[in-house]
Amino acid sequence: MSDTRPGDSAADPRRWWGLVIIALAQLMVVLDATIVNIALPSAQHDLGMSDANRQWVITAYTLAFGGLLLLGGRIADLVGRKRTFVIGLVGFAAASALGGAATSQGMLFGARALQGAFAAVLAPSALSLLTTTFTDPKERSKAFGIYGALAGSGSAIGFIVGGLLTEYLNWRWCLYVNVPIAVIAVFGALALLHDRPGHAGARLDVPGVLLGCGGLVAIVYGFSEAQPRGWTDPLVLTLFAVGVALLGTFVWWQARAPMPLLPLHVIKDRNRAGCFLTMGLAVIGMFGLFLFMTYYLQVVLGYSPVKTGLAFLPLTVAIIIGSTQISARLLDHVAPRMLMVPGMVLAAGGMVILTQMTIHSSYTTEILPALLLMGLGMGLTFMPVFSTATAGVAPQDSGVTSATVNTSQQVGGSIGTALLNTIATTSSATYITAHLTDPAKRALVVNEGVVHGYTVAIWWAAGIMLLAGLVAGLMVTVKPPKHGAPANAPVQEPVA
């Protein structure tokens, strides 16, 4: 078919304003994974949370978000992306208000889980709306440059906003702030966004939902529990075993289901699979950096919450420049892997610089150059990953494809937090045990041990970043749009 549709970029003069709305919603979802990190000590004190339970403020969100993404993506395909986008925004705002008004830890945990559930509907809808709105290769590069910048920098922006709100208002505003953002996005979506109708005749793959979402929840929960309990804890091992078994059964079922939750051709495509893997590996390293640098700046260097948040600002700016000014301009002319591979090498280089930090490191001369390299590297990588992974997908599969990209990001974050934190704490304990010979110097040795643990874990993160670059180089072989690659061509909806 060649008729012009409301969702096609050539027919919609307000599409760039629509991009602003999509980007605003995506930013809200991504930064909410980290915005409460800096506020956590205040919330813990106010609501009387134990040290063991406080992790649930983070885990409840990531668990619901990561576990339900495939379901959210398929719902978007079935009932329409614009409708699920608006539902996700309204639900996210309501859950945020509930969390901000929490009077007990249980109420806050429940609100965070609700936020995660609605984020799982919102995130794939946002990315698939972007995919179906911008089909022209040149415009698509610009749009995905902006989207990639926000997806990559959203976590860092969360630290900045979280620090400002916690220091000058209180921790509850880290949740309340979502309400006005969501209200603006809802009105903007209703006025500006267009969408093809959903597929009313299609049915939801219920066994696929139970197997796929159950497996993801078990895996994400397993990694979140590995951090406090240890990797050999019976609960952790059981969760991993159950998760792997459920996901294995899920793949078997998807090959046989009449209307699969995740059509296997989506992940069998070499380029798309390479993008999913690259994203997951890159985020493992990135989340490890955020975790360590937050503690390093606040605990070791003694920064305030606001100063800690602002310390991440150069990273955010570098991601935006790498994504919108470099990747978006070059993707039409070079193959995606020519951006992704150097991007991961740059990010790994930034990590290597951070392995040299000590308890007396200077931010300007030692930390800042590393953050700038990391930011440029992630900006170069994330934009072509999002664009290539969602290019050329049939409209009826755009939601679930978008959900799979988000799932690799979410699962990568869970793995990164648990894996690198375990490496850091183990290395710290070994160092402190070996060097604590004079009780009078205990505080100094403990601080040195903590930083030593961080540097060991950051070496691992650098290696994982390089592995992401290798995966991108070997698997993502698609050519640039201007060289005749069909992947970025608009895919018309088939006629019934």
HSE, side-chain direction, 13 A CA sphere, residue 454? 26
Q: Is the pLDDT of residue 8 over 50?
A: no
Residue with tokens 């495939």: 70
pLDDT tens, position by position, 20-60: 888 888 888 877 777 777 777 788 888 888 766 777 887 78
Query: What is the C-alpha to C-alpha distance for residues 149 and 321, in angstroms, rounded to an integer?
Result: 8
Report the Cα–Cα distance between both ends of the chain, in Å, rounded. Answer: 12
Cβ–Cβ < 8 Å for 211, 246: yes
493 Cβ contact list (under 8 Å, min separation 6):
1, 5, 196, 394, 395, 396
Q: What angle, rounded to 10 degrees, do the helices at 337-354 and 368-390 form?
A: 150
Model confidence at 161: pLDDT above 90:
no
The winner for highest mean pLDDT among 211-220, 269-278, 403-412 is: 269-278
Which residues fall within 8 angstroms of residue 12, CB to CB, at 6 or more apart?
6, 18, 133, 194
In the predicted structure, residue 198 carries a pLDDT above the cut 60: no
- In a 13 Å sphere around the CA of 239, the CA atoms on its Cβ side amount to 20
Distance CA 81, CA 84 (A): 5
CA–CA gap between residue 490 and residue 235 (Å, rounded): 47
The mean-pLDDT minimum among 317-326, 401-410, 454-463 falls in 401-410
pLDDT in tens, 399-420: 778 788 878 887 887 778 778 8
Q: Which two tokens stand for residue 13?
A: 């003069």
Q: What is the DSSP letter of 310?
A: H
d(Cα 368, Cα 18) in Å, to the nearest integer? 35
In 3D space, the residue among 440, 439, 461, 442 whose CA is nearest the CA of residue 450 turns out to be 442
From CA 292, how far away is CA 300, in angstroms rounded? 11
